[in-house]
Amino acid sequence: MHVHSVTVCEDRIDVVVRVDDDERMRTAGDDAAVRRALELLPGLKQHMCDNAQGITFAEEIADTEVPHLFEHVVIELMTRAGSPRGLKGETQWDFNRDGHGTFRVSFEYDDDLVCLGAIKTADRVMVHILEDTEPPDVEVETARLRDLRLRVPQVEGVPTRM
């Protein structure tokens, strides 16, 4: 899985994600990846999911699309960095339109820089989850994301970055 593009919109951030390996399209059958995700980010167990089955994300994680897991990793990182737990994400795909393995993931945000940083961090977290590499230090990363909130306040209606 890799992030192909990121677009910042007024009310959301849209990410195009590609999964080139059909065997890595879903979490089904990869109990180790699911275990790594929940060990690194235990807050994923609290996530709700709007799905036809009426199940929680903790139940769905055992068999879901890898970009859907990415969606929840981003939301969890944002939450750990101080964003409201109620922010939503959405994962969609239309392989006929976009090509096989292309997913569109959207995120509501309360702070665009925190969301963008969470996307970047989640990309590294997903490498750990899927490939069993050394995990990123989530505490350090979420502290860095929280620090993004401490930038200089707006001057004449324009956000100023430090």
What is the per-residue pLDDT across 19-65, written as a single tens digit (0 to 9) for each?
Answer: 998 888 999 999 999 999 999 999 999 998 887 787 889 889 999 99
Distance CA 103, CA 89 (A): 13
**Nearest Cα residue to 129 out of 30, 23, 21:** 30
What is the per-residue pLDDT across 120-141, written as a single tens digit (0 to 9) for each?
Answer: 999 999 999 999 999 999 999 9
